[in-house]
Amino acid sequence: MPEVRNWQLGRTMSYPYAEHHPEHQFAFVFNINRCIACQTCSMACKSTWTFSKGQEAMWWNNVETKPYGGYPNHWDARLLGMLDEAHATAGVEPSWADEGGDREAPYGTYDGLTIFEAAALEKPQLQQALGYLPADEDWRAPNIFEDVTPAGRPAPGSLGLEAEGATLPEHTAWFFYLQRLCNHCTYPACLAACPRQAIYKRPEDGVVLIDQERCRGYRKCVEACPYKKSMYRPTTRVSEKCVACYPRLEGLDPASDGVPMETRCMTACPGRIRLQGLVPVAPDGTWADDRQNPVTFLVRHEQVALPLYPQFGTEPNGFYIPPRWAPRPYLRQMFGPGVDAAIARYRAPSRELLAVLQLFRASQRVIFRFEIEEGPLVFETEIDGQPWAMYDDTVIGFDKLGREVVRLSVEEPVHERPAPRPNSI
């Protein structure tokens, strides 16, 4: 198998195909701390793409309640358990070596097995990636166990769930919402597993699509995708998945003015937790050192947003600002070893980060570049014993053609209505 470079693992890894990288990569950052689980994103996607016969249980975007919820049921706990077994069989103790923080290996080096490497050891002729096929009933509820920790839930330490991280000393229960869609992975397991080569990654934006004409419904992609974001449609007998709303990315939507527009699930979010971008990628797969691109800034420079289960090895292009109050061992299992530093940066944001955080859900057009105009000091305090200052800076976002699309200050301005139209409802 060819060796490919995976920056999230800080090393090369085995993958069935040689490296080819797009010019830009569809990527997104979700701020988990702000999600209210309203499911507006899920409905925006469903009402656009999956409202037809055979798609009833198909949620390309879903928001689930962690740690016990999942769509399909226990998708991550089951795969983590399988990966644990593969490590035990191979006599490997997975861990992350080195300090991390380096731009090209921000989380250090993963010395465990990815799902591709585990499959090569366990089932070399049968599977390209370690995985399983969920049962039909596993797809029935997109947010099962919502806000509750019911009787019959899997016990901490079972199903691969982190044993230490299931309760806090102060509370008997905790949860947070995890927003999920296809990660348009750099090394998609769905693509690797497809025997028909019906799945491809677009060279212009890295979007991963299933060719509906070539697909024969073998469901190898459903089995292999570690995030379970490829789904089978029984009425057509082919598989489907998130298409990254590609007509909007291509600037074909009438409202887009000819430039890339954010997707339906991104633009619908009232919690303003979502920021989607197109990240410039160099031919060798490294992200161009474009500090003024908001997604590059958050992921590579500020390192406040982290990939979901980077140890799976697909190099997902969805990134999360981890929830501040969930137990750290559970979060480290889910987002890797960058969790503590990311939360520390989010708790006491730098002046630049605070400004960029205002850009979430601020424009329907994809922001390719931001600038900051400095404003006055408005607040000083201490956070974790360190002095912290807040400035009323203004952040300006620009679209692909360099046109200004949004201008926001850190402090929300107060607008007083004139006397004939007083503030009332």
Measured distance CA(5)–CA(319) in Å, rounded: 19
Whichever of 145 and 391 has its CB closer to ligand SF4, that residue is 145
Residue 233 binding ligand SF4, by CB under 6 A: no
Q: Give Cα separations from 143 to 68, 73, 135, 348 (angstroms).
A: 10, 9, 16, 32
Whichever of 4 and 41 has its CB closer to ligand SF4, that residue is 41
How buried is residue 98: exposed, middle or buried, by Cβ count under 10 Å (0-12/13-18/19+)?
A: middle
**Options 113-121, 137-145, 237-245, 413-421: segment touching ligand SF4 (CB under 6 A):** 237-245
* Tokens linked to 291: 């500090």
Residue 169, preceding peptide bond in cis (omega within 30° of 0): no
Site for ligand SF4 in 357-396 (CB under 6 A): none
How buried is residue 126: exposed, middle or buried, by Cβ count under 10 Å (0-12/13-18/19+)?
A: exposed
Helix (H, G, I), strand (E, B) or coil at 420: coil
Site for ligand SF4 in 262-281 (CB under 6 A): 263-265, 268-271, 273-274
**Candidate residues 7, 110, 174, 227; the one interacting with ligand SF4 per rule CB under 6 A:** 227
Q: Which residue is nearest to ligand SF4 (CB)?
A: 271
Q: What are phi and psi of 124, to 5 degrees?
A: -60, -35
How buried is residue 81: exposed, middle or buried, by Cβ count under 10 Å (0-12/13-18/19+)?
A: middle
What stretches of 181-292 adopt beta strand conformation (E)? 199-201, 208-210, 230-233, 238-241, 274-280
Measured distance CA(322)–CA(30) in Å, rounded: 9
Residue 37 binding ligand SF4, by CB under 6 A: yes
**Candidate residues 13, 27, 185, 261; the one interacting with ligand SF4 per rule CB under 6 A:** 185
Residue 215 binding ligand SF4, by CB under 6 A: no
Q: How far is the CB of 158 from ligand SF4 (least distance, A)?
A: 25
What binding mask, one character per residue, do residues 58-87 give for ligand SF4 by CB under 6 A, x or -?
--xx-x------------------------
* Tokens linked to 42: 């899920």
Q: How far is the CB of 221 from ligand SF4 (least distance, A)?
A: 6
**Options 85-93, 176-184, 362-370, 394-402: segment touching ligand SF4 (CB under 6 A):** 176-184
Q: How far is the CB of 27 from ligand SF4 (least distance, A)?
A: 12
Which residues would be at the binding site for ligand SF4 (CB under 6 A)? Answer: 35-41, 44-45, 48-49, 60-61, 63, 179, 181-185, 188-190, 208, 225, 227, 229-230, 241-245, 263-265, 268-271, 273-274, 314
